[in-house]
A and B are shown apart, each in its own frame.
Chain A
Amino acid sequence: MNTHFDPTIIESIKGKYIILDNNVLSDSASSPEFYQTLYKILENNPLFIDPIVKLEFLRGAYIEKTYKEKTAFLNIEIFTHMVDHNDIYKKVYDSAFNIARIYSHHKRPNVPLGDIFITARQQIHTQQEYLFLTEDLLDFTTLLFDRMLILSFERKDKDNNEHIQHLQLLKFNQKKFKDCLDSLPQ
């Protein structure tokens, strides 16, 4: 699979923690070539699964066997499940209200709730820096994130038509968040 990205950036983020979005997990769970290519590129990064992403990934699997296969996929050794407990729930929940207000103020009231919670979990991690890899260019933007890297993959669909798939690697920007929060109308 042909890929296009800046290898110096991949080198510069060596060792940084990366949270994977559902679209990245889903695509890598269903394409052996994409699975091998993507995780080779990210072989020097610990990869994390957010609890909300896990729910999004598993919710389509209502057949028991498929559910077990997808659960097994999440247990591949390269993935680490993010810690979750009551204190974190409260912080995430509180942050989600602020993020939802910010999006609404910027004319984005329809950002999916799951994406708000995924963003909120990154906002509360002020001590540990996480990056976020997603295919979603609409609901994760430079309003609250900095874009670090674009990874492009030459792919073919089921009808053998070529297309370019872009993934963006983002970093939550606490200053942008604070500025947006401070600028909400009184």
Chain B
Amino acid sequence: MMKVSKESKKTEAEKKISFSDGLKIVQEIQKKVEAFNKTKSSSHSSNEYSF
């Protein structure tokens, strides 16, 4: 019970994510970067975007 209680107190920022779930996050970010790049005329590397 104690462990469950501690787990429930963890914030979203503290949760460890598996490599395969990480891939899903990357796919979501990729969609945003591509959408962002379409609005720009010049070429942007992925570390230049902000939204």
Per DSSP, chain B at the interface is helix
Bound Cα distance from A170 to B21, whole angstroms: 29
Interface size band for B = 20 to 34
Interface size band for A = 20 to 34
State which residues 21-51 of B face A: CB under 8 Å: 21-23, 25-30, 32-34, 37-38, 43, 45-47, 49-51
Given A32-B26, A73-B26, A27 and B19 touching (CB < 8 A)? no
**Residue B16 interfacial (CB < 8 Å):** yes
Given A63-B51, A71-B12, A75-B14, A157 and B43 touching (CB < 8 A)? yes
**Residue B6 interfacial (CB < 8 Å):** no
**A30 and B19 within 8 A (CB):** no
Bound Cα distance from A71 to B46, whole angstroms: 16
A 136-173 to B, binary, CB cutoff 8 A, 1 in contact else 0: 00000000000000000000011100000000000000
**B17 and A77 within 8 A (CB):** yes
**B29 and A70 within 8 A (CB):** yes
**Residue A72 interfacial (CB < 8 Å):** yes
**Residue A82 interfacial (CB < 8 Å):** no
**Residues of chain B whose beta carbon lies under 8 Å from any beta carbon of chain A:** 12-19, 21-23, 25-30, 32-34, 37-38, 43, 45-47, 49-51
- What are 15 A-B pairs at a CB distance below 8 A? A23-B47, A26-B46, A27-B46, A29-B26, A30-B29, A39-B19, A60-B51, A66-B51, A68-B12, A71-B12, A75-B14, A76-B18, A158-B37, A158-B43, A159-B43
